[in-house]
Amino acid sequence: MEFTAETIAGFLKGEIEGNPGVKVNAVAKIEEGHEGALSFLANPKYEQFLYGTKSSVVLVNKSFVPSGPVNATLIKVENAYEAFASLLRLVDQARPRKQGIHASSVIEPSATIGGKVYIGALAYIGENCIIGEGSSLYPHVYIGDNTTLGKNCILFSGVKIYHDCVIGDGCIIHAGSVIGSDGFGFAPQSESEYMKIPQLGNVVIEDNVEIGANVTVDRATMGSTILRKGVKLDNLMQIGHNVEIGENTVMAAQSGIAGSTKVGKNCMIGGQVGIAGHIKIANGTKIGAQSGLLSPVKQEDTIILGYPAIDMKQFYKSSVIFKKLPELSTKVDSLGKEIELLKKK
């Protein structure tokens, strides 16, 4: 697909500085730009690349003033990063989408299939399932009995959704993820034996949730494990049974949440964060990467770091002391020896 700078500026309601007729047919990082490419500049530390980039068009913030000559055509917008993302979304939506049901797929007679769907090779759809209009199920997707999948969802290859789960509209689940597997529930019977506790609940995923590759979301013991609308989960994550994640919360890769924890809305959780079970995390909480959260977060919009996770300001003060521990240890040992000498005298 090919667009002129004028067309792009019209879509973004931006202002052009340069040639409105220049055409682009690709996107590229500003430091890797080439003729016919569209790039963006939002972070000032990349400004140096603007003056040598070979990209034909660059999106910049309206407040940006170049400090040198620029060969590319500039389009000034309110937020260059958001504008670039909206353009990528437009291009993605313009791609032709597959439709039709592959002959090797298996669909139980009691299932209901909406219009304009794509069901790939060797996919399975169980009894009493509902597949919403416009949804795409790539090869080897498994949908368990009594599961509802909303409209315009995309399930990539190898996604497994167990029985009785509910998936909202516009959800995207990437390859290899498992939704509704049993929660980790075992009752000790002796010093070395455990009895499995049946997991009788389900998973409910609301609208516009995106789940990365190889993520596991366990079904509830009773009731539901819930991902509220707009939640975004990165790859390789574990969400325990009866967890609830609030609206528009985002979590980076390799994080895990233990059972029955309630995460508020608009939270941001870094990579490799571990969150203990049966706690509540307030709205707007931000948790730094590799932190371990063992206790509730009661105050909204708190930023915490470390293990165990503490307030950001306290963490930074403590980190200064951490670096000095070897030096302090040497001083303490020296003082101890001096005290012993004084006692002898």
Asked whether 283 and 267 are in contact (CB, 8 A), the reply is yes
Check which CATH number belongs to the domain holding 33 and give it.
Answer: 3.40.1390.10
One domain, residues 38 and 125: no
Query: Do 276 and 141 fall into the same domain?
Result: yes
| Bond into 96 cis (ω within 30) | no
Going by C-alpha positions, the residue among 46, 76, 50, 72 that lies closest to residue 62 is 76
Residue among 57, 50, 70 at smallest CA distance from 15? 57
Residues 155 and 11 both lie in one domain: no
Q: Are 266 and 328 found together in one domain? A: no
Specify the CATH number for the domain of residue 210.
2.160.10.10
CA distances (Å), origin 239, targets 146, 158, 212, 262, 279? 22, 19, 12, 11, 14
**116 and 10 fall within a common domain:** no
Can you give the pLDDT of all 345 residues of the chain as single tens digits?
A: 788 999 999 999 999 999 999 999 999 999 999 999 999 999 999 999 999 999 999 999 999 999 999 999 999 999 999 999 998 888 887 778 889 999 999 999 999 999 999 999 999 999 999 999 999 999 999 999 999 999 999 999 999 999 999 999 999 999 999 999 999 999 998 888 999 999 999 999 999 999 999 999 999 999 999 999 999 999 999 999 999 999 999 999 999 999 999 999 999 999 999 999 999 999 999 999 999 999 999 999 999 999 999 999 888 888 888 888 888 888 888 888 888 888 887
Tell me the DSSP string of 59-96.
Answer: EEETT---SS---SEEEEES-HHHHHHHHHHHHHHHSP
Spatial CA neighbour of 51 closest among 33, 76, 77, 24: 33
**Is 35 in the same domain as 169?**
no
What is the reported pTM? 0.87
Looking at the structure, tell me whether residues 53 and 114 fall in a common domain: no
Whether residues 65 and 172 share a domain: the answer is: no
pLDDT digits (tens, 9 = 90+) for 300-312: 999 999 999 999 9
pLDDT at 336: 87
d(CA 93, CA 83): 15
Domain, as residue range, for 135:
100-311
Residue 241 annotated as catalytic: yes
Q: Are residues 277 and 220 in the same domain?
A: yes
What's the pLDDT score for residue 309?
93
149 closest CA partner among 180, 175, 176 = 180
Domain boundary among 73, 94, 115: 94
- Percent of the chain topping pLDDT 90: 83
Together in a domain, 143 and 254: yes
Domain count for the chain, please give it.
Answer: 3
Q: Considering the candidates 102, 163, 174, 241, report the single residue annotated as catalytic.
A: 241
List Cβ neighbours of 334 (8 Å cut-off, separation of 6 or more).
none
Same domain, yes or no: 71 and 194: no
Do 156 and 223 fall within a single domain?
Answer: yes
